[in-house]
Amino acid sequence: MVGGGQLARMTHEAGIPLGVKFKLLSDAPTDSAAQVAGDVVVGDYRDLDTLRRFAQGCDVITFDHEHVPTEHLHALEADGIPVRPGPRALVHAQDKGVMRARLTEIGAPCPRHRIVSDPADVARFAAEGEGFPVVLKTVRGGYDGKGVWIVRSAADAVEPFRAGVPVLAEEKVAFARELAANVVRSPHGQAVAYPVVESIQVDGVCDTVIAPAPGLDPKLSTHAQQLALKIAEELDVIGHLAVELFEVRTGDGSGDGTKVLVNELAMRPHNSGHWTQDGAITSQFANHVRAVLDLPLGDPRPRVRWTVMANVLGGDYPDMYAAYLHCMARDPGLKIHMYGKDVKPGRKVGHVNTYGDDLADVRERASHAAGYLRGTITE
């Protein structure tokens, strides 16, 4: 696995029961996954020679991020190394312009969009639709709100162009909420779909995920799953695919109907699927391992009626041990997943999962635990 973050750490954990030997290319020996994996190579994933040396002896290469240069992945494939997902698929998660063009081609519903050249072009894009505000995104490199701007005038649109990279303009969607459809697909074409979840964002970062999305129309839920499966097939995704969605009200605005628009794609285990570790029969991590090794996929159905995942962001507790005492004693059913990261304000250092039959109770337990571990709740 290329990348040493928490996704690699949890994927490694999922492979242990299967006896899968896990080799890691990490930026540093202190990275989250490097702390637990037995075979760690420290090196720069942007260097082709490093990637080639790392790939020697590997049966398959997969990723915990989308940042490996596309041309390097083509070179690995030319060397006979299975890369999953392959570069022709992964480019759609690396380049937002390529993603939007391909999704439009296959008929997937997207916000209105266009590559723009300068602030004046942004103004023209706005005038072609409902006007400002519009959303600007760098086509490569953005994540967790980085590389994304909401601009309200041409004067506001200067900053995104400073880096000298292509910029994608999108209409600012008046969505009711954000959803995510997570699917997994194997090389021989087997695919499974998890329940569609609600993803609650705070300052551009995922805060809470509710599985399944409460109150979601069953027909729209099925449509979202089928859409994600179609995207996985059309783009030839191997492994886990997260399709982040906007739920948008239709009709006269009275809430009598909704539709979904595709916001983003991620071709790896994803924050919106962390709930599956404790709430699904087979987790996203276990199914990603199965898929890239072309093993039969596991059952994605939920174990319980409701599961809630809440991210733990760095806060006032440099040492979590004292917080553990409170959280574990208060809620013996709580599941805590920490990433071994140094605690820094606002940094994702872990997550908690809670589950049960009463959604309000499950949400309160998750919120309390995440807040206490962060230090924003003290009792």
Report percent pLDDT > 70 for the chain: 97
**Are residue 121 and residue 77 in the same domain, yes or no?**
no
**Are residue 200 and residue 348 in the same domain, yes or no?**
yes
Inter-residue contact 140 to 165 (CB < 8 Å):
yes
**Are residue 163 and residue 191 in the same domain, yes or no?**
no
Q: Which two tokens stand for residue 284?
A: 């996203």
Q: Which two tokens stand for residue 171?
A: 């209409």
pLDDT given at position 165: 84
Q: How confident is the model at residue 254 (pLDDT cuts 50, 70, 90)?
A: very low
Closest-CA residue to 162 (of 138, 143, 178, 142) = 138
Q: Per the domain annotation, does 95 fall within a domain?
A: no
Inter-residue contact 127 to 102 (CB < 8 Å):
no
The answer, yes or no, to whether residue 264 has pLDDT greater than 50, is yes
Q: Per the domain annotation, does 297 fall within a domain?
A: yes
- What is the number of structural domains in the chain? 3
- Rounded mean pLDDT, 38-58: 97
**Are residue 56 and residue 139 in the same domain, yes or no?**
no
Q: How confident is the model at residue 320 (pLDDT cuts 50, 70, 90)?
A: confident
Last residue of a domain, one of 171, 196, 221: 171
Q: Per the domain annotation, does 293 fall within a domain?
A: yes
pLDDT given at position 144: 57
CATH number for position 70: 3.40.50.20
CATH number for position 206: 3.30.470.20
Which pLDDT tens digit goes with each residue over 132-162? 999 999 998 766 557 899 999 999 999 999 8
Q: Which two tokens stand for residue 8?
A: 């690699």
**Are residue 188 and residue 316 in the same domain, yes or no?**
yes
**Are residue 276 and residue 358 in the same domain, yes or no?**
yes
Q: Per the domain annotation, does 90 fall within a domain?
A: no
The answer, yes or no, to whether residue 255 has pLDDT greater than 80, is no
**Are residue 14 and residue 37 in the same domain, yes or no?**
yes
**Are residue 217 and residue 121 in the same domain, yes or no?**
no
**Are residue 61 and residue 43 in the same domain, yes or no?**
yes
Q: Per the domain annotation, does 138 fall within a domain?
A: yes
CATH number for position 146: 3.30.1490.20
**Are residue 312 and residue 187 in the same domain, yes or no?**
yes
The structure's pTM equals: 0.95
Mean pLDDT check: name the lowest of 103-117, 139-153, 319-333, 362-376: 139-153
Domain enclosing residue 59, as ranges: 6-83
**Are residue 162 and residue 185 in the same domain, yes or no?**
no
Distance (Å, rounded) from C-alpha 210 to C-alpha 10? 20
Which pLDDT tens digit goes with each residue over 72-111? 999 999 999 999 999 999 999 999 999 999 999 999 999 9
For the chain, the first-to-last Cα distance in angstroms comes to 40
Mean pLDDT check: name the lowest of 127-141, 223-237, 251-265, 274-288: 251-265
pLDDT given at position 247: 98
Beta carbons within 8 Å of 267's beta carbon, 6+ residues apart: 63, 66, 85, 89, 90, 92, 93, 237, 239, 240, 241
Q: Per the domain annotation, does 264 fall within a domain?
A: yes
Last residue of a domain, one of 83, 104, 139: 83
Secondary structure of the chain as H, E, C letters: CECCCHHHHHHHHHHHHHCCCCEEEECCCCCCCCCCCCEEEECCCCCHHHHHHHHCCCCCECECCCCCCHHHHHHHHHCCCCECCCHHHHHHHHCHHHHHHHHHHCCCCCCCEEEECCHHHHHHHHHHCCCCCEEEEECCCCCCCCCEEEECCCHHHCHHHCCCCCEEEEECCCCCEEEEEEEEECCCCCEEECCCEEEEEECCEEEEEEECCCCCCHHHHHHHHHHHHHHHHHCCCCEEEEEEEEEEECCCCCCCCEEEEEEEEECCCCHHHCCHHHHECCCHHHHHHHHHCCCCCCCCCECCCEEEEEEEECCCCCCCHHHHHHHHHHCCCCEEEECCCCCCCCCEEEEEEEEECCHHHHHHHHHHHHHHHHCCCCC
Q: Per the domain annotation, does 107 fall within a domain?
A: no
**Are residue 232 and residue 309 in the same domain, yes or no?**
yes
Last residue of a domain, one of 64, 83, 102: 83
Closest-CA residue to 310 (of 294, 291, 331, 293) = 331
Inter-residue contact 168 to 116 (CB < 8 Å):
yes
Q: Per the domain annotation, does 93 fall within a domain?
A: no
